[in-house]
């Protein structure tokens, strides 16, 4: 199976975020990492290749720094990578356009994305890629296996602890749920070998994608408005513990 995995570089989970001066995004001076659901998508693709053969291609759309997550993907076992470089902030539709245009001429059996990104959280890019390619899709995937010639069977997670198996023809697009598998670390050997693996480079300009393609506009970011009057409990840990218990007993009457 020839598999494309779409990865996004996002601010690290515990990075303190500061608003950029124009308030439409955060300041760039934070540490970055691969979007967690995308890491699970990569792992799922690598396991499919190991079990059934084929090729895994890692792709990202993002600024120069985003090449780091492609190097990590190559070190973990991806065969080659594609970097669509550009720093424009794209919505899910424009990102999907950039991805499908960058892979025009290649025919993948499977395209995997994470379920959603930890920054924008659109949760749409994979489904839009499927629509642009005219391919079937399934989301929130917890298991993937081939089901005969040019077919796959997946396990979808539904709400409230329910699941469902779905079969579909390939090429297909899957958005992968976190926790589908256990993530691997790159080995020293893998890191060495990654240096000799091909990384194709193109730009948003070359694929003809600009923010003018965005169908939604992010006007501003702000700290969420608190919906509750929250009591902050100050002091050292012992004082905080005592005060919390007192509030729970005497004000909230829940203990």
Partner 1 sequence: MNPILVVTEQKITAPGKFNPATWEVIAAAQQLGATLGATVVAAVLEAGDSGMAAECATRQLERVLHGQHALLAAYAPDVWVQTLEQIITQVQPSFVLLPHTYQVRDYAPQLATRMGAALISDVTGFGFEAGEPRFIRPTFQGKWAAEVGFARGDSADVKPGFVTVQIGAFRGDQAAMGAAAARVDAVTVTPQPSRLQAGEIFQEAKHAVDLTQAPIIVSVGRGIKEPKNLDMMRELAAALGGELAASRPICDAGWLPMDRQIGSSGQTVAPKLYLAVGISGAIQHLVGMKGSRTIAAINKDPEAPIFEVADYAVVGNLFDVVPALIAALKESPA
Q: Please, which of residues 71-90 interact with partner 1 by CB under 8 A?
A: none
Distance of CA 72 to CAs 158, 172, 190, 250, Å? 31, 25, 9, 53
By CB under 8 A, tell whether 31 contacts partner 1: no
By CB under 8 A, tell whether 245 contacts partner 1: yes
By CB under 8 A, tell whether 27 contacts partner 1: no
Angle of CA points 9, 15, 18, to nearest 5°: 100
Phi–psi pair at 52, nearest 5 degrees: -130, 0
Residue the block writes with tokens 């995997």: 112
Query: Please, what is the minimum distance in Å from the beta carbon of residue 96 to partner 1?
Result: 8
Q: Are 147 and 165 in contact (CB under 8 A)?
A: no
Q: Which of residues 127-156 bind partner 1 (CB under 8 A)?
A: 127-128, 130-132, 136-140
Angle of CA points 47, 83, 194, to nearest 5°: 50
Strand, helix or coil for residue 53: coil
Which stretch in 50-58, 80-88, 123-131, 199-207 sits in contact with partner 1 by CB under 8 A? 123-131
- Cβ neighbors of 158 (< 8 A, separation 6 or more) are 140, 164
The residue among 107 and 251 lying less far from partner 1, judged by its C-beta, is 251
Question: Which H helix or E strand runs over 38?
Answer: helix 36-52
Q: Which of residues 158-197 bind partner 1 (CB under 8 A)?
A: 158-169, 177-179
By CB under 8 A, tell whether 237 contacts partner 1: yes
Tokens matching residue 245: 């218990």
Q: Candidates 17, 51, 64, 200: give the one binding partner 1 (CB under 8 A).
A: 17
By CB under 8 A, tell whether 227 contacts partner 1: yes
Q: Candidates 55, 79, 109, 157: give the one binding partner 1 (CB under 8 A).
A: 157
The residue among 12 and 64 lying less far from partner 1, judged by its C-beta, is 12
Q: Candidates 38, 43, 85, 120: give the one binding partner 1 (CB under 8 A).
A: 120
Which stretch in 54-62, 122-130, 185-193, 195-203 sits in contact with partner 1 by CB under 8 A? 122-130
Q: How remote is the C-alpha of 112 from its chain's centroid?
A: 10
The residue among 6 and 128 lying less far from partner 1, judged by its C-beta, is 128
By CB under 8 A, tell whether 199 contacts partner 1: no
- Nearest C-alpha neighbor of 145 from the set 125, 123, 174, 124: 174
């Amino acid at each position: 199976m020839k598999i494309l995995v779409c990865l996004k570089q996002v601010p690290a989970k515990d990075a303190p975020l500061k608003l950029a001066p124009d308030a439409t995004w955060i300041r760039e001076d934070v540490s970055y990492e691969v979007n967690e659901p995308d890491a699970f998508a990569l792992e799922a693709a690598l396991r499919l290749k190991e079990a059934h053969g084929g090729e895994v291609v890692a792709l990202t759309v993002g600024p120069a720094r985003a090449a780091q997550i492609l190097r990590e993907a190559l070190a973990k076992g991806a065969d080659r990578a594609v970097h669509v470089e550009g720093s424009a902030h794209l919505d899910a539709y424009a990102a999907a356009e950039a991805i499908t245009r960058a892979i025009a001429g290649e025919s993948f059996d499977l395209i995997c994305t994470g379920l959603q990104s930890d920054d924008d959280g659109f949760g749409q890019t994979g489904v839009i890629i499927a629509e642009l390619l005219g391919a079937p899709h399934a989301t929130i995937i917890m298991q993937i296996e081939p089901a005969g010639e040019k077919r796959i069977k997946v396990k979808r997670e539904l709400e409230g602890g329910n699941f469902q198996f779905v079969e579909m023809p390939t090429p297909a697009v899957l958005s992968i749920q976190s926790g589908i598998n256990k993530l691997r670390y790159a080995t020293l050997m893998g890191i060495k070998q990654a240096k000799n693996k091909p990384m194709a480079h193109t730009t948003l300009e070359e694929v003809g994608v600009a923010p003018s393609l965005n169908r939604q506009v992010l006007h501003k970011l702000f700290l969420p408005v608190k919906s509750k009057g929250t009591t902050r409990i100050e002091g050292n840990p012992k004082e905080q513990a005592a005060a919390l218990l007192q509030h729970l007993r005497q004000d909230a009457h829940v203990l």
